[in-house]
Amino acid sequence: MAGPPRGSDWRFAGAVSAGGTPPRLRLPEIAFAGRSNVGKSSLINRLARSSGLARTSRTPGRTQQINFFVGRDEIVFADLPGYGFARVPPAVKESWKGLVEGYLEKREDLRGVVVLVDVRRGLQEEDARLVDYLDAVGREVVLVATKVDKVGRAEREKRLGAIRGARPGAIGFSSTCGEGEAALWSELRRLVEHPTRPGGR
Ligand SMILES: Nc1nc2c(ncn2[C@@H]2O[C@H](COP(=O)(O)OP(=O)(O)OP(=O)(O)O)[C@@H](O)[C@H]2O)c(=O)[nH]1
Ligand SMILES: [Mg+2]
């Protein structure tokens, strides 16, 4: 990558719902996962410098599909549906699991998964379970603690310290002010240019 793709370098490249087939893009891919409303789509828009690329919303759990975005025919971002929202019927939970686990296990060009947590909440049970699962299936994980603009400096350092105790190298991020953007891009560049198993076969 010469530099991060920006703005009009990006395009929507399709979506997949439970039971469907994801688009074949044949480019190094990074997925973004985390609780509903944690800020996955906002982070994608920030990294892409394209405000309307991924749809953001105040209503958690609206999207039950994986959306794919291509940046300059060099990299793909996959926006995964969020988990952890209250009052979902078991059938929806099952279809989420089937869609996301099938994707995470089988997607050939997947180079790594950015797992987002809210800096104020840290790693909750479902987040820790996802990270353990990704470690177990051999996927690279980049942990991002987002919405750091919502807490003061002292509080932020304390919370980031706790999160880094569980996952050294976790990146503090804000989609609002752009903190952590360069650090995250440099991790993504590493995953794209120096792939490890299983994405880099
Ligand atoms: N202050 C602040 N607000 C944020 C940040 N990131 C996201 N938000 C807000 O949090 C809400 C949810 O953001 P989304 O990006 O839609 O979250 P999501 O993880 O994609 O949610 P789902 O697609 O439902 O799983 C929106 O109101 C965003 O504006 C951030 O870094 N700082
Ligand atoms: Mg979203």
With beta carbons less than 8 A apart as the criterion, state whether 188 and 30 touch: yes
pLDDT per residue over 40-68, tens digit each?
999 999 999 999 999 887 666 666 899 99
147 lines ligand 1 (CB under 6 A): yes
* Average pLDDT of the segment spanning 80-89: 82
Interstrand relation of 65-71 and 75-79 (parallel, antiparallel or unpaired): antiparallel
- Indicate if the pLDDT at residue 198 is higher than 60: no
Q: When comparing pLDDT for 84 and 39, which is higher?
A: 39
* Average pLDDT of the segment spanning 92-114: 93
Query: Three-state SS for 183?
Result: helix
Specify the pTM: 0.95
| Half-sphere exposure (Cβ direction) of 189: Cα atoms closer than 13 Å | 12
- Indicate if the pLDDT at residue 199 is higher than 60: no
- Index of the ligand 1 atom closest to the CA of residue 42: 15
Domains of the chain (ranges, CATH numbers): 7-193 (3.40.50.300)
Strand residues in 72-109 grouped as ranges (E): 75-79
> 138-175: string of b/e by CB count within 10 Å (b at 16+)?
ebbbbbbbbbbeebeeeebeebbeebeeebeebbbbbb
- Residues of the chain above pLDDT 90, percent: 80
User: Of the residues 36, 40, 42, 57, which should be mutated to test ligand 1's pocket, given the most ligand atoms within 8 Å of the CB?
Assistant: 42
